[in-house]
Structure 1
């Protein structure tokens, strides 16, 4: 099975506790005003990647876990559920950032299955007037849905709001909850 991706960052400290593989999915129909990642919205774009390849990358990189963001991960619910199921036996953590609320997820069997293996889901539409940009929450209305005891609020409070990475070839990547 495949995920349609916008991009992958093999090591980040701003997208969850510890060093993490960050996977941005491609496609989002929610259209939250002020979204700082509009390049992930068009579902026609994107690279297809095998779930097994992404899991192998995460395990091989020795990261603490994976953060799945977007775009909107839960618009690919079967693939996200399969990814979580493949990741779980590795012992790596899984955080999913979504614009759907917990109530919307619970009402939809496919979305509920998609978050089944997540340790933490950060849920809710981005609201520009309530911008926060900290602790994996773009806006203050977004809720933490603790699915396991793997992570705590203190883990998220310690995250940098912005991370600037410079590759050996000079490529600069910025990531985190602040729109750089």
Structure 2
């Protein structure tokens, strides 16, 4: 695989970012500027974040594949790095049996009208699409706001699978670092 992603954070196992335990990857960089975004620290793309190759991320997913159900890509904005996301998604599908969910601020029509973005979601099982709207805050089922739409790309996941996803998760690292993740209430930071 070639290419790399600018990464904000990776959690090897999380329950609040999709069905089952999942590796969750937050990309760094987003120019959409949704008011009230949960993850404003993931927006700047210059000088912040950690550049990782697609192969490194695939190796990390493979190392966890016996303990996780899938991978969730979120951000920042994954579809602003479409080539690397497409390479990662294709490699994940080819090399593992893991599911893939992509959370994006782009709407389905915006994705379908852009060949690079469409290629990036080609191997995803579920895309949760649309700009976050603070006035329509929902914070459940992987949707930060009620306008965000599910785009079921395969039959791997269904609505019922999302009902058991916790809205919030607090993880304590080996060094005592706290990470709060999930569709937290506005004002509570996420990873």
Taking the aligned partners of 1:124 and 1:168, their CA distance within structure 2 comes to 35
Residue deviations 1:16-59, cap 9 Å, x none? Answer: 01110000001000000111100000010211001111111111
- Specify which of 74, 81, 90 is matched with residue 69 of structure 1: 74
Structure 2 unaligned blocks of 5 or more:
none
Taking the aligned partners of 1:158 and 1:32, their CA distance within structure 2 comes to 27
SS at match of 2:110: helix
Residue deviations 1:89-128, cap 9 Å, x none? Answer: 2111100000000000000000000000000000000000
CA RMSD of aligned residues (A): 0.8
Question: Which residue of structure 2 lines up, in the alignment, with residue 167 of structure 1?
Answer: 173
Question: Which residue of structure 1 lines up, in the alignment, with residue 144 of structure 2?
Answer: 138
- Specify which of 18, 21, 29 is matched with residue 19 of structure 1: 21
Taking the aligned partners of 1:78 and 1:71, their CA distance within structure 2 comes to 16
- Specify which of 113, 116, 123 is matched with residue 122 of structure 2: 116
Question: Which residue of structure 2 lines up, in the alignment, with residue 102 of structure 1?
Answer: 108
Question: Which residue of structure 1 lines up, in the alignment, with residue 52 of structure 2?
Answer: 49
Kindly report structure 1 stretches of 4+ aligned residues shifted beyond 6 Å. Answer: none
Structure 1 unaligned blocks of 5 or more:
none
- Specify which of 85, 101, 113 is matched with residue 90 of structure 2: 85
- Specify which of 39, 64, 89 is matched with residue 41 of structure 2: 39
TM (norm. structure 2) is 0.92
Residue deviations 1:40-79, cap 9 Å, x none? Answer: 0001021100111111111111311100000000000101
The count of residues paired between Structure 1 and Structure 2 equals 180
The Cα of 1:135 is off from its aligned counterpart by: 0.5
